[in-house]
């Protein structure tokens, strides 16, 4: 087997092997568990960087073998795969650092970090999957590996949220499996490829293809939190902050959105999807979800629930972008896959810092927290401004590119949706920022802890600052090679090339 075949396998196996080792460690094995966690994350990040460099130079990485007659297990590192894999590798490393500090005094840490590694392995498998069958295997593995993380605290509220999570995601998985099986019967085992497989809109199976597409989007839309399939996401916020960060920025919701991108681009193809009349309804659903999520965020009193409804809104930017009938809009949607992850993980890291350092969970408890925790609050402010779309931050690049793409596609109504969404983003984030910086603390914090010179634990202090800097840099340096925007343009160029 060649090196090009081994690299995707090694990237996948890194976190699988880490999970096996961590499950076997005793609770007292703090130092060894931390070493395994961080070592595996660094190795995976290195492997992914090597593949990104190779893919940019035309190197093909992949391996396949027959599972059952007519069905292949395929791992493939194409440009789209490496966008998602790169996001996963970078943010997994940062979240691992954060989680080590966050769960320092928590019970069942070996169990947590074991399933944590399985969750990342599932996400990497989703990124590298070369067909729908392989994608589905890791998609369901992701469901099963994240459930123990959601219910980690073991409280009644956590167990209830876990049941809701399973009800939604397993039902979505069943619908997805039905769609994949139906598609297999209609067209066979289809590998992901640029331009898709259904270039002829007058195909004899047109009605079946439309129904299969609807089922695929419904199955994937659960994890992508499309309306009305989003109900599990706010409830899952009872999970620890590192889990919330993974759910929103790297793993679950991104897996759903990534799957929808794969279906539109690499199974159906943009041309066939548009000719079959599938993209316009999906665009309207994404636009509605954007507005709905923001409106629901306005009424939240819990900080993490506000961020959850913000995610419901923000992930739909990705889906809206790929429905804009042109390369510019598609670039805006794809680049938001990375931009949203960087901004949202910053916000969840900060929310966790407030909870662990001051005992803050509610928005009305945040008065004056900016003076007590200025670095964390600066990072939160940058993440929030990015979500609003303030230039030159990451969110501005997304919204500008989507708006330009909408004009190019003569879909002017999208501009109104983007403006309305941005105004709503400002309406629920600016009051929080005002409380942080411009109000006096009303008294003692609910549960304050001290860590010497730093405002919080070093494990919790540095990750949000790093991702806040990333939020600035990916906006300021958007035109440079290997920026998220440039990589998204590379993917879209291959999709829209004749």
The number of C-alpha atoms within 13 Å of 304 and in the hemisphere containing its C-beta is 25
182-218 confidence digits (pLDDT tens): 998 888 888 898 887 876 545 557 888 899 999 999 9
What are φ and ψ of residue 61, in 5° steps?
A: -115, 130
Q: Place 246 in a pLDDT band, splitting at 50, 70 and 90.
A: confident
Average pLDDT taken over every residue of the chain? 87
Alpha-carbon span 253 to 312, nearest angstrom: 9
CB burial string 414-440: b at 16+ within 10 A, e below: beebbeebbebbbebbeebbebbbeee
**Residue labelled with tokens 């497989």:** 197
18-60 confidence digits (pLDDT tens): 888 888 887 776 788 888 888 888 999 999 999 998 888 888 8
Domain boundaries, the chain: 293-498
Alpha-carbon span 477 to 482, nearest angstrom: 10
> Contact, 475 vs 397, CB < 8 A?
yes
94-106 confidence digits (pLDDT tens): 988 888 888 776 7
Cis amide bond preceding 95, omega within 30: no
Backbone torsion region of residue 154, taken as left when φ is above 0, otherwise alpha when ψ lies between -120 and 50, otherwise beta = left
User: What's the predicted TM-score (pTM) here?
Assistant: 0.91
**Residue labelled with tokens 């099986």:** 181
Alpha-carbon span 263 to 1, nearest angstrom: 30
259-303 confidence digits (pLDDT tens): 999 999 889 888 888 888 899 999 999 999 999 999 999 999 999
pLDDT of residue 383: 95
DSSP 51-82: HHHHHHTT--EEEEEEEETTEEEEEEE-HHHH
Top-confidence residue, 430 or 252: 430
pLDDT of residue 2: 66
Residues near 397 by beta carbon (within 8 Å), at least 6 away in sequence: 335, 339, 474, 475, 478, 485
């Amino acid at each position: 087997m060649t090196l090009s075949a081994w690299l995707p396998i090694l990237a996948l196996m890194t976190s699988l092997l880490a999970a096996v080792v961590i499950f076997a460690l005793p609770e007292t094995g703090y130092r060894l568990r931390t070493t395994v966690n961080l070592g595996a994350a660094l190795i995976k990040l290195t492997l992914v960087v090597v593949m990104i460099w190779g893919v940019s130079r035309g190197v093909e990485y992949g391996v396949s073998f027959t599972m059952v007659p007519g069905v292949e297990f395929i791992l493939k590192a194409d440009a789209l795969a490496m966008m998602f894999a790169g996001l996963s590798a970078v943010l997994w490393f940062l979240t691992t650092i954060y989680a080590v500090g966050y769960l320092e005094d928590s019970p069942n840490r070996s169990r947590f970090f074991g399933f944590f590694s399985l969750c990342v392995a599932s996400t990497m498998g989703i990124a590298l999957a070369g067909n729908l069958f392989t994608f589905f295997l890791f998609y369901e593995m992701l469901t099963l590996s994240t459930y123990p993380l959601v219910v980690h605290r073991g409280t009644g509220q956590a167990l209830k949220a876990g049941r809701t999570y399973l009800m939604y995601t397993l039902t979505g998985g069943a619908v997805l499996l039905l769609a994949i099986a139906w598609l297999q019967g209609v067209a066979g085992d289809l590998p992901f490829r640029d331009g898709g497989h259904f270039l002829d809109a007058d195909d004899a199976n047109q009605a079946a293809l439309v129904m299969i597409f609807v089922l695929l989007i419904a199955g994937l839309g659960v994890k992508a939190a499309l309306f009305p399939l989003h109900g599990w996401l706010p409830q899952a916020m009872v999970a620890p902050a590192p889990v919330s960060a993974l759910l929103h920025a790297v793993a679950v919701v991104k897996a759903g959105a990534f799957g929808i991108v794969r279906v539109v681009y690499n199974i159906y193809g943009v041309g066939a999807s548009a000719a079959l009349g599938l993209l316009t309804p999906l665009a309207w659903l994404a636009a509605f979800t954007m507005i709905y999520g923001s409106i629901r965020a306005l009424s939240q009193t819990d900080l993490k629930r506000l961020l959850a409804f913000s995610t419901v809104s923000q992930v739909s930017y990705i889906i809206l972008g790929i429905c804009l009938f042109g390369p510019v809009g598609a670039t805006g949607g794809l680049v938001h896959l990375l931009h949203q992850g960087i901004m949202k993980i910053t916000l969840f890291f900060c929310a966790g810092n407030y909870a662990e350092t001051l005992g803050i969970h509610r928005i009305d408890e945040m008065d004056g927290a900016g003076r007590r925790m200025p670095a964390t609050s600066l990072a939160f402010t940058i993440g929030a401004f990015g979500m609003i779309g303030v230039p030159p931050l990451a969110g501005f690049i997304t919204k500008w590119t989507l708006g330009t793409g909408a004009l190019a596609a003569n879909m002017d109504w999208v501009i109104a949706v983007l403006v309305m969404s941005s105004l709503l983003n400002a309406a629920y984030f600016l009051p929080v920022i005002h409380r942080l910086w411009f109000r006096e603390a009303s008294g003692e914090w609910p549960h304050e802890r001290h860590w010497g010179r730093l405002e919080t634990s070093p494990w919790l202090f540095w990750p949000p600052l790093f991702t806040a800097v990333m939020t600035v840099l990916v906006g300021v340096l958007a035109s440079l090679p290997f920026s998220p925007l440039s990589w998204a343009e590379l993917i879209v160029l291959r999709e829209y090339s004749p």
